[in-house]
Structure 1
Amino acid sequence: MTLDYASIHFCNALLNANYAAILFFLWFRRREDCLLLWGSSFLTLALSTAMMSVVDHSLAIALLFGCISANVSLLWAGTRAFDGGRPFVWEMAAVPASISVLHAALAATASLQTANAVATALLAVNVAFAAHHFFTGHGGQSNPGRRISAWALLAYLPIYAASTVLSLSGTDNHASAIVILVSDLVLNNAFMVGLVAMMEGKARQALTVLADTDPLTGALNRSGFFKRCEERSPDAVLVVDLDHFKDVNDTFGHAAGDAVLRAFHERIRTAIGEGEYIGRIGGEESAIVLTSSGSLDVGGRAEKIRNLVCDTPVFFEGHSIRVTASIGVATASKVEPIAETLRRADEAMYRAKRTGRNKVAA
């Protein structure tokens, strides 16, 4: 059975409209900008597909090229939003508008075939930039879903080249349109699979972060701390315990104790460098990993952290709450399990408590 031109148009427009509806529904539930932009992209493509069956004037064709370019720009903008970046508003509007205007000018001064070829070439450049962003992401993010979507976009480039050759050779425009429409039916499915994989990967990553994070302080929890240590061996570990923390809870209430713990971890985060991290490993006890990326004067840095804790009170509901900290220090070895390094730092911390508290022991 041979599909006629109208059937291909209908199937393609319906497919893209369905994808747009799915993405808009997800946006309505989640309110994520990327879903709104991706849904708008597929809706624009559905409208462009519908236009292809009726356009027969050069200005209408110019508008069609602008709509197809807007589809690509919206995909790109949605991916930037997905990565946490800001969409290029100028790119979403200026590039499609420029392609439409240039096509109309060339169609009026040269020929429709030339206008189509130039507009297709510019559209291919837009697609290539969008595919590059899918590959690299914002800040180097990448996952299999991104690569699927990127390759689906890149697969359009030889299709655009074939379409341009057909157009310049004087072949009926319907032949060029059918090449693009049939390709759309295949590649848009692959592209949507990539988007779904991207969203699934991001959700899985968010769940992992949630599972490894202490909800009160935002620091790593015990499980997350050990996972991070397995990724890269620390150079030194500090175990920090707030002195007489039970008295804070008994005197000011548990809400005040929570405020002290949050303030404590916020201060620590300002004192550690890139690649260093803190984990809440139990109650008021936390572990800090130091690396050679920062100054490895371990004793000096431990004293700085101790001073950071005790020099500035925590203000809570009109109360000024002062706390001190006892810190144990242990340098790490690449052949020593992190649990053993942590045990030595913990013993040093208890030695600091036994000898008067509010001090550092190694």
Structure 2
Amino acid sequence: MTDLSVPTLQFTDFLVFGACAAIFLCAWLLHRQKTYFLCFGASYAVCATMAVWFVDFGYYGSIWSPFGWSLAGATFWIGLRLFDGRPAVAGPMIGLFLLPTATHLGLTLAGGNAVAINAGSTIAYAVHEAAAAVYVFRTSTRRSPLRHLIAGALLAIALVICLPLLPVSEASVRLSVIAIFIVDHVTSILLTTAILALEAERGYAAVARMARTDALTGALNRQGLAAETGGVTEAGIIVADLDHFKAINDRFGHAAGDAVLRDFAARAAALLPEGGHLARLGGEEFGIVLPGRDHNATTYLAERLRRAVGGSPVSWKGSAVPITVSLGVAMLRAGEALSESLERADKALYDAKTDGRNRVRVA
């Protein structure tokens, strides 16, 4: 029965590996900038080739066997690192990539018998896969069950390939080889599904950020500010408006006006304390929410921002664009809606404008 099962499982292994390779390669063709899809596809393409090439599956009688499987594992690991936005290869990884083939070659040159060569190559490849699992575990966050699933699948591969080394009967060894095929089937499906789910999750997060972020300045928009401060009950509120902004557009052009808005957002963000929120409320008007800050701290920050903005012009195509800002300060009180405190800060801003601009006024 097991004699018939192994060739069948070998063929289905090829089909599963090939299907996973096709999925990732198609994803890469649709998004050429996402090189990690190419790496995942290439890894599974190597696995598919290995599945039909080596009839001694579960053993490493030829040096091409550890080389091929470690090449597949290394390419997959590189894909994971690129997916995480990291460099493709870190120093220790090179040694792990070469370890299975080097172990096989070293034991062969040392005159080791087939059993010793197979055991050494198997353990070396298991270490390689386990190291990839450790990488994923270490880079996972508490809220990332998908990444934990990926790490668990890689660790399962590392463990199951060592089963034929156990001191058991010949029949049990054959069953352990079948177990390798089954784990290959399951982990390939899990890994492919989990990676695509992570990609979808990343895309959803990007869309959510876009919906809550001002595209020009990178600050929050009104919707984003409301979402970020939904649980805030007491905070300092600042509303800032760039002075004579229309004149800047008229004199230097709208592109220069956009540069001024980006520069102001950058200066404000640089002064923002931990936990503070910056939002573009519309046009040249910005809002700042400082949870837990009192009246004095909020007014002090507003004055610092006024000085930081008016202290140096914005460079634009060889010209110096002078800018100043008027600011209104209010406090968000317990039980008060954010819109109410923003409205009071906006009235204080109006007082700053009517009093001559480039100043701070407190509601």
Band of TM-score, shorter chain? 0.7 to 0.9
Q: Which residue of 2 aligns with 1:43?
A: 45
Gap runs ≥5 in structure 2: none
Deviations along 1:263-293, one digit per CA (max 9) or x if unpaired, are: 2112222222444332101111011233569
Give 1:165 shift.
1.2
What letter matches 1:120 in structure 2? Answer: T
Instruction: Assess, with a 3 A threshold, how the Cα gap between structure 1 residues 333 and 103 changes in structure 2: closer, same or farther.
Output: farther
Alignment of 1:1-362 (within 5 A): 4-30=5-31, 31-53=33-55, 60=62, 62-91=63-92, 93-106=94-107, 108-137=110-139, 140=141, 142-165=143-166, 175-230=175-230, 235-290=235-290, 297-333=297-333, 335-362=335-362
Deviations along 1:44-97, one digit per CA (max 9) or x if unpaired, are: 22233233226899661x432233233333322222211211122545543132
Give 1:12 shift.
1.0
Deviations along 1:308-341, one digit per CA (max 9) or x if unpaired, are: 1112112334443212111122344565433333
What letter matches 1:147 in structure 2? Answer: H
Distance 2:25 2:212 in 1: 31
Give 1:141 shift.
7.6
After TM superposition, the score normalised by the length of structure 2 is 0.85
Give 1:175 shift.
4.6
Distance 1:233 1:78 in 2: 44
Instruction: Assess, with a 3 A threshold, how the Cα gap between structure 1 residues 219 and 57 changes in structure 2: closer, same or farther.
Output: closer
Give 1:201 shift.
0.4
Distance 1:54 1:112 in 2: 13
Distance 1:70 1:334 in 2: 61
Give 1:170 shift.
5.7
Instruction: Assess, with a 3 A threshold, how the Cα gap between structure 1 residues 29 and 118 changes in structure 2: closer, same or farther.
Output: same
Distance 1:68 1:261 in 2: 54
Deviations along 1:333-356, one digit per CA (max 9) or x if unpaired, are: 565433333233223222222322
Instruction: Assess, with a 3 A threshold, how the Cα gap between structure 1 residues 110 and 330 changes in structure 2: closer, same or farther.
Output: farther
Give 1:221 shift.
1.5
CA contact (8 A) 1:313 1:323 kept: yes
What letter matches 1:297 in structure 2? Answer: A
What letter matches 1:44 in structure 2? Answer: V
Distance 2:342 2:154 in 1: 49
After TM superposition, the score normalised by the length of structure 1 is 0.86
What letter matches 2:149 in structure 1? Answer: I
Give 1:234 shift.
7.0
Q: Percent identity?
A: 33
Give 1:361 shift.
1.8
CA contact (8 A) 2:280 2:287 kept: yes
Distance 1:56 1:26 in 2: 31
Deviations along 1:90-123, one digit per CA (max 9) or x if unpaired, are: 4554313222221333355444333333433343
CA contact (8 A) 2:330 2:345 kept: yes
RMSD between superposed Cα atoms in Å = 3.0
